[in-house]
Amino acid sequence: MHIAFDADDTLWHNEPIFDLTQDRVAELLRDWVPPEELGEQLNRMEKRNLQLFGYGSKGFTLSLIETALEVSRGEIPGAVIQEILDAGKAMIEHPIELLPGVVETLERLASQHPLLLITKGDLFHQETKIARSGLAERFAGIEIVSEKDDATYRRILDRYGIDAERFVMVGNSVRSDILPVLQIGGNAIHIPYESNWELDKIEHRGAEKEGFFVAESMLEVPTSLQEIAALGWTAPTVAPTDA
């Protein structure tokens, strides 16, 4: 079978960096909006901007700046805007911290199955994170996409010549890593993360069906794959095609 992995909050920590940045900006904007109210206003701004800015640190930083302008009615000093920009740059430059069990699990699985990395977000930033992670060589293919939905997964599987029933997606997001893959007839392993982006949250109802598995950590993924293999699926031998 072909096994694909999400990147952010599946292979390395990501969401806590956003949380820390939001907390830092909340303190900067305390004179205009109570810190406990900033999150709600920022979520609305991000939702409004998602189709324009996409996912990732750059879009988040732009939404922070626009939120600051909105709550201050345009009176926010330039020095505060600069601090928000600096916080956004710090996010982009933040060191990659791999989650426990990632290296050994990928090494074990890469010797047995073709592995793919499927991540969404800003192309340049995701490329740099993958390069800095030191994990790139373990993947037969890397796909950086603007959205993870049914159509995206179908396109990727078509490109690599993969049958959906012989495909497994491993990730922390029910909305983008689990439900779309189940929808096209694939299999998914959910690894819950300690925190989730507000706009990516979704109830698990509807996910508990055929092809859905849960692993508490990366170290449990091989066991979940054994469960999937026991259902009778075998590894394909079709190589990826050119883009």
pLDDT tens digits, 65-106? 999 999 999 999 999 999 999 999 999 999 999 999 999 999
Share of the chain above pLDDT 70, in %: 89
Domains and CATH numbers, the chain: 2-12+96-229 (3.40.50.1000), 15-93 (1.10.150.240)
Q: How high is the mean pLDDT of the chain?
A: 89
pLDDT of 48 > 80? The answer is yes
> Lowest-pLDDT range, 110-119, 155-164, 224-233?
224-233
Q: Report CA dihedral (82, 86, 91, 96) to the nearest 10 degrees.
A: 170
pLDDT of 233 > 90? The answer is no
CB-based contact 225:168 (threshold 8 Å): yes
pLDDT tens digits, 118-151? 999 999 999 999 999 999 999 999 999 999 999 9
Radius of gyration of the chain (CA): 19
- Model confidence at 194, pLDDT cuts 50, 70, 90, reads confident
- Model confidence at 198, pLDDT cuts 50, 70, 90, reads very low
Residues sharing a CB contact under 8 Å with residue 226, sequence separation 6 or more, in sequence order: none
